[in-house]
Amino acid sequence: MASPLKHSLARPLVQSSSSCAASRVLLLPASQRFFSVLNRPPPNYEGHIPLTKVERGALAIGSALWSFRDPRRGDLIAALGEATAQPFFIDHLRNRMLLSPTGRRILRDRPRITSTTLSIPRLRSLPSNTVGYAYAAWLDREGVSPDTRAAVRYIDDPECAYVMQRYRECHDFYHALAGLPVFREGEVALKAFEFANTGLPMTGLSVFAALTLKKREWQRFWEIYGPWAVRNGLLADDVINVYWEEELETDVDGLRTRLGIEKPPDLREIRKAEREAMKRAKEAKESGTVLS
C-alpha cells in the first residue's frame, strides 16, 4: 500500500527535477557548468577564458613545475595563482574583503594601480616618511614598474577576478611596506607573509622556492624571515583591505602600527655586511698565506 503511493509521488519528483536540472544547468555560471574545450561558455568579463577542471589542473601543475625551474616567468606564477585560487581560497579572500568597510569600498570602486593612475614623479616628491615615497623609492631601488602585472584571465567570477588583480597590483606595496627586496630571498619571505595573511595557495607554493636558496639564505629564512612572516601574517590585519590610493600620504610607520606589522631586518644591509665580511676574511687569508 505504502510503496505504490511512494512510487507515484517519487516519479513526478524525479521527472520534474530532471527537467529542471536540464534547464538549471544551462543557467549556471561557467565555474559550475560542465563543458568541454570545444564549447566553452561565453566569457564573464573581458579577457576571461573559462577552463575545464582538467585544463585548470594541468595549468596548475605545469606552471608550478615550470616556474620552479625558471622563477623569472612571472606570467606562470600568475597563472599558478589563478589556477589554484578557485573555488575556495579566492572566494574566502573576497568574503574577508566584504567583512571590512574599506574592503567593501575597494570592491565597489574597483581602483586599478598602473603608472597612469599613480603618478610616480608625484610620489617621489612626497615627504620621505610617507607610504607613497617609500613605494616610489622601492620601485626605483629595485628597478621595476607597476605596469608589469598581467591581467587575470582564468578566474570565473568577475568580482573574484578583480580581487586577484588587486592582490597582484598591490604586491609591490607589500614589498614597500615590509621593506623586502625583489630577488629570490626577499620574494620568498614576502610570499610566506602573504600566505599567512591572504591564504592564497600560490603564495604558499612559492615558499617551496626557498628550497633553491643558498645555505646561508635558507638559514636566514628559517631563523629570521620565516618566523617574521608567519607571526606578522597571521596576527596583522588583512593587507588586501588597505586602500593604497588613500594611504599614499600617510606615515609608513603609522600604517605599519595600525596594521600590526613589524618591519623585518633590512635584508640588503645584512647581505651587504655579509659579503663585506667574507671579502675581508678572504683578503686576510690571502695576505696571511702571502706573509707565511
Partner 1 sequence: MSGTTAKLLARHQFFQGARLAARRNPYRCLSCSAQNAQQQNTPPPPGQDAPKTTHFGFETIAEALKEQKVGAVFSSVASSYDTMNDLMSLGIHRLWKDYFVRNLNPGSNPLTSPSTTVQGWNILDIAGGTGDIAFRMLDHASTINNDAHTRVTVADINPDMLAEGRKRALETPYARSPRLSFVEANAEHLTNIPGNSIDLYTVAFGIRNFTNKDAALREAFRVLKPGGVFACLEFSKVNNSLFDAVYKRWSFGAIPLIGQLVAGDRDSYQYLVESIERFPSQTEFRDMIKDAGFLVPGRGWEDLTGGIAAIHKGVKPIKAQN
* Site residues (vs partner 1, CB under 8 A): 2, 5-6, 9, 13, 17, 20, 24, 27, 29, 36-38, 49, 52, 54-55, 58-59, 62-63, 66, 73, 75-76, 79, 98, 104, 107-110, 157-159, 162
Q: Grid coordinates representing 146?
A: 607597476
Does the annotation place 172 within a ligand binding site? yes
3-state secondary structure (DSSP) of residue 260: coil
Q: How far is the CB of 153 from partner 1 (least distance, A)?
A: 8
Would you say 107 or 120 has its CB closer to partner 1? 107
- Of 66 and 218, nearer to partner 1 (C-beta) is 66
The residue among 55, 53, 54, 78 whose CA lies nearest residue 66 is 78
Residue ranges of E strands in the chain = none
Nearer to partner 1, 45 or 218 (CB): 45
187 is in an annotated binding site: yes
* CA 48 to chain CA mean position, Å: 19
Q: How far is the CB of 46 from partner 1 (least distance, A)?
A: 13
Closest CB to partner 1 among 63 and 232? 63
Q: State in angstroms the smallest separation of the CB of 52 from partner 1.
A: 7
3-state secondary structure of 35: coil
> Whole-number minimum distance, CB 171 to partner 1, in Å?
19
DSSP 223: I
Whole-angstrom Cα distance, residue 235 to residue 19? Answer: 50
Residue 161 CB, nearest approach to partner 1 (Å): 11
- Is residue 168 within 8 A of residue 175, CB to CB? The reply is no
**Pair 84, 204: CB distance under 8 Å:** no
Annotated binding site for Zn(2+): 171-172, 175, 187
